[in-house]
Amino acid sequence: MRKYILKRLLQLIPVLIGITFLSFAMMRLAGGDAVTYMYENAGAVVSQDIIDETKAEYGLDRPFLVQYGSWLGGMITGDMGESYVSHKDVYETFISKLPATLLLTLTSVLVTVLIAVPLGILSAVKHNRWLDYVIRFFSFVGNSMPNFFAAMVLVYFLSVKLKFFPAVTGSNLGQSIVLPTLTLAISMASKYTRQVRAAVLEEMNKPYVLGAKARGVRGSVIVWESVMKVSMLTIVTLLALSIGSLLGGTAIVENIFMWDGVGKLAVDAITMRDYPMIQAYVAWMAVIYVLINLITDVIYHYLDPRVRFGGEGA
């Protein structure tokens, strides 16, 4: 198993290099000059000589490959450069925003699991009965709503009308995190309820389940001790994809509720053309997704004995 993990980690190195290279190239090829925009945004009118000096200061006058090589070497050592806008260290700034995103990810995933798994199982067990139809209807509605619309609905009812929670992030973190968490959980739980239902329903029609029922095994024992063990593969895959996207920061939700995480940081950086900050965000997203995929594969190995890696026998 250790050999497999080491092999996968080595395979991920060229993937990460390729992603960072492409993103670095796309930002440099995009229209607009970061230095000129920086001065224009500050309301300053400067000469071309000052612009050229600033480019030289940030290393933007060097060839593209030299710039990329310098940035990649700095990223490996923890030096991602200096922000064009705030003039603060990019690595320190990015790390300071991670706790907020990690907290929002944790609460959203927990709420999603607590809602989607029980409802998905219940909907499958009550297949084609009135409770199944009710759960499927609400999951369809929740899955159809974009995050920004769900956020507006929650703000209107829970903040404006009932005044239970603040509309934007304030000093009370416990109350401020409720609306962003619910906004993310509504969409994810609705989608995953249907996925869990489909996975459980598929397993319940397998011959081994029908045989267990014929032998008089209780339905709850069949579901929790047999069906759920196999269905966990689907649930783990869904959660892995969700955790990856959430750790990247849900930009729309973070901006709506002024949640100071990496998603909001990325949007601000794109708006201000803060290339070093954007590049740090892209590198973070790449690392998160490849690591999540690796962890998911490892979990598969333990959950399903049929899954084998590295040429192991079936």
User: Is pLDDT of 33 > 80?
Assistant: no
Mean pLDDT confidence for 236-251: 71
Per-residue pLDDT of 127-151, as tens digits, reads 888 998 999 999 999 888 888 888 8
- What's the CATH number for 91-303? 1.10.3720.10
Mean pLDDT confidence for 303-307: 59
Q: What is the mean pLDDT of the chain?
A: 79
User: Is pLDDT of 311 > 60?
Assistant: no
69 pLDDT band, cuts 50/70/90, is confident
Is the model more confident about 37 or about 103?
A: 103
pLDDT at 40: 64
Percent of the chain with pLDDT over 70: 85
- The answer to which of 100-104, 152-156, 257-261, 294-298 has the lowest mean pLDDT is 294-298
Of the candidates 165, 146, 191, 144, the residue with the CA atom closest to the CA atom of residue 257 = 165
pLDDT at 64: 78
User: Is pLDDT of 308 > 60?
Assistant: no
| Residue 278 · residue 269 · CB < 8 Å | yes
User: Is pLDDT of 32 > 70?
Assistant: no
312 pLDDT band, cuts 50/70/90, is very low
| Residue 276 · residue 82 · CB < 8 Å | yes
DSSP H stretches of helix in the chain: 2-29, 34-41, 48-58, 64-76, 90-125, 130-144, 147-154, 173-176, 178-204, 207-214, 219-222, 228-247, 251-256, 262-272, 275-303
**Global pTM value:** 0.77
Is the model more confident about 98 or about 226?
A: 98
User: Is pLDDT of 39 > 70?
Assistant: no
71 pLDDT band, cuts 50/70/90, is confident
| Residue 248 · residue 291 · CB < 8 Å | no
- The answer to which of 24-38, 61-75, 85-99, 222-236 has the lowest mean pLDDT is 24-38
| Residue 187 · residue 147 · CB < 8 Å | yes
User: Is pLDDT of 314 > 50?
Assistant: no
Using CA atoms, how far residue 65 sits from 20, 54, 74, 112, 116, in Å, is: 12, 19, 14, 44, 47
Taking phi over 0 as left and psi of -120 to 50 as alpha, with beta for the rest, 76 belongs to alpha
Domain boundaries, given as residue ranges, for the chain: 34-79, 91-303
- Cβ-in-10-Å burial (0-12, 13-18, 19+) of 13 comes to exposed
pLDDT at 46: 66
| DSSP SS3 for 86 | coil
Of the candidates 260, 247, 261, 232, the residue with the CA atom closest to the CA atom of residue 292 = 247
pLDDT at 313: 44
